[in-house]
Amino acid sequence: MAFHRFGIKNVTCAHADYYELRDIFAVFRELAACCYYLIRNYN
């Protein structure tokens, strides 16, 4: 989202091939962070 906001179009990603129990917490943490990022005011 940050790259898109600043006009960077060619973005790739990497991820693990496995999941851990702590990833459940990470999903909720990142969801909250994404919501905050979307409503944050940039001046």
pLDDT 10s digits, 1-43:
778 778 888 888 888 898 899 989 999 999 999 898 888 876 5
pTM of the complete model beyond 0.75 = no
Query: Quick one: pLDDT at residue 25?
Result: 92
Number of H helices, E strands in the chain: 2, 0
The answer to whether 42 and 6 are in contact (CB under 8 A) is: no
- pLDDT value, residue 42: 66
